[in-house]
Amino acid sequence: MKMPKPVIPVTPASSWQSQLAHAVTDPLQLLQILGIDPSRFPQCQLAHQGFQLKVPQSYLAKIRPGDPKDPLLLQVMANAQEMTPAEGYTHDPVGDLDAVRTPGLLHKYAGRVLLVTTSACAVHCRYCFRRHFPYETQQPARQHWQAALDYIQSHPDVTEVILSGGDPLSLSDQKLAELIAELDNIPHLKRLRIHSRIPVVVPDRVTRDLINLLAGIRMQSCMVIHANHAQELGVAEYRVLQQLKQAGIMLLNQSVLLKAVNDRADTLVALSERLYECGVLPYYLHLLDPVAGARHFDVPQTEALALMNTVRASLPGYLVPQLVRETAGENSKKPVFGL
């Protein structure tokens, strides 16, 4: 008997927006929902004043209740350690501000430019290297897009444009469609790359309309998702990633190596395995950028190299991400090699 074709559910446009609007933004409320004693996170309210907590329900649902060491919780929970001053940890650790060419456009590396499309993110990651980025002055509001487009237009060596943020997928489909249409009209652009944490944080945002938009342009579309742990890739995430892949969109993942979150070889191996199941290839594993407030996540380079050796011994080469470090002023992210 012929099976009926699966019906792809159409998510109402308001649904992902309302998930974003109703994210948990109070550390004590988050702990209460998870049944965790607030004494496990002293001074979390103060840390949250420095960088607001934000966790949408769909992400919260993947955190194990009652476990103060859950690897997803540690990525999003405001923590007193963020307030300890740390030498060498700064507000612009990767030299982004020196690369700004027009408001919101960063041209740092040959052949590709990065557009900061919005300051909004679906989740606030405590280790984020842009946690202090001056979005107020650098955000390409609508009136600045033209300057960015003109810059790209006049630089024929630029063949790839990277939409970043914040999280570019927190923009509406309409805003994205307008921007992407303008980019698609620039003949020397070959590739559109979207860097987003949203497919693993609010998978409902990856609507059929969005997939059609990315699949229907002249440029080749690539999405670099940002998962740090296999536990972030549940059933809903699997489903949207499969849909993106089936639409012909290249899927890559980048992670940040984070102490107590994913700094074990078996954790990294499980992440690569799960990514591949979801149709995603591991791309980069970043050493932590030394951003003020994140030192407690740092994994020393020697330890990272030892970890990578174990990971490499356990997986086919295409499932081993490249360990990289970004250094201000360099012409690319630099691979970190061991013996």
Ligand X SMILES: *Cc1c(COP(=O)(O)O)cnc(C)c1O
Bond preceding residue 111 cis, omega within 30 of 0: no
Distance of closest approach, residue 160 Cβ to ligand X, in angstroms? 8
Residues binding ligand SF4: number (CB under 6 A): 10
Distance of closest approach, residue 128 Cβ to ligand SF4, in angstroms? 3
Size of the chain, expressed as the number of residues it contains: 339
Phi, psi dihedrals of residue 193, rounded to the nearest 5°: -120, 135
| Coil vs helix vs strand at 168 | helix
Distance of closest approach, residue 254 Cβ to ligand X, in angstroms? 8
Cα-Cα-Cα-Cα dihedral of 136, 138, 142, 147, to 10°? 150
Distance in angstroms (rounded) separating the CA atoms of residues 17 and 15? 5
* Partner in contact with 162, chosen from ligand SF4, ligand X, none, beta carbon below 5 to 8 Å by kind: ligand X
CB-nearer residue toward ligand X: 20 or 149? 149
Q: Determine, following the binding rule CB under 6 A, whether residue 96 of this chain makes contact with ligand SF4.
A: no
Q: What is the DSSP string of 36-54?
A: --GGGSTTHHHHHHHS---
* Partner in contact with 197, chosen from ligand SF4, ligand X, none, beta carbon below 5 to 8 Å by kind: ligand SF4
- Positions in the binding site for ligand X (CB under 6 A): 99, 106, 108-109, 112, 114, 162, 332-333
105-134: contacts with ligand SF4 (CB under 6 A): 121, 123-125, 128, 130
CA end-to-end span of the chain, whole Å? 57
Distance of closest approach, residue 324 Cβ to ligand X, in angstroms? 8
* Partner in contact with 332, chosen from ligand SF4, ligand X, none, beta carbon below 5 to 8 Å by kind: ligand X
Task: Characterize the bridge pairing of strands 281-286 and 322-325.
Answer: parallel
Task: Identify which of 111, 206, 117 has the alpha carbon closest to the alpha carbon of residue 152.
Answer: 111
Distance of closest approach, residue 291 Cβ to ligand SF4, in angstroms? 10
Distance in angstroms (rounded) separating the CA atoms of residues 339 and 330? 23
Mask: binding to ligand SF4, 138-177, rule CB under 6 A, as x and -?
---------------------------xxx----------
Q: What is the maximum alpha-carbon separation in the chain?
A: 68
Distance of closest approach, residue 125 Cβ to ligand SF4, in angstroms? 3
Amino acid residing at 137: T
CB-nearer residue toward ligand SF4: 166 or 321? 166
CB-nearer residue toward ligand SF4: 165 or 321? 165
Is residue 31 within 8 A of residue 41, CB to CB? The reply is yes
CB-nearer residue toward ligand X: 106 or 163? 106
Distance of closest approach, residue 122 Cβ to ligand X, in angstroms? 20
* Partner in contact with 124, chosen from ligand X, ligand SF4, none, beta carbon below 5 to 8 Å by kind: ligand SF4
Residue 223 CA, distance from chain mean position:
10
Distance of closest approach, residue 250 Cβ to ligand X, in angstroms? 13
CB-nearer residue toward ligand SF4: 123 or 183? 123
CB-nearer residue toward ligand SF4: 130 or 205? 130
Task: Characterize the bridge pairing of strands 191-196 and 322-325.
Answer: unpaired
Q: How far is CA 322 from CA 263, 272, 287, in A?
A: 15, 12, 10
Which residues of this chain interact with ligand SF4, rule CB under 6 A? 121, 123-125, 128, 130, 165-167, 197
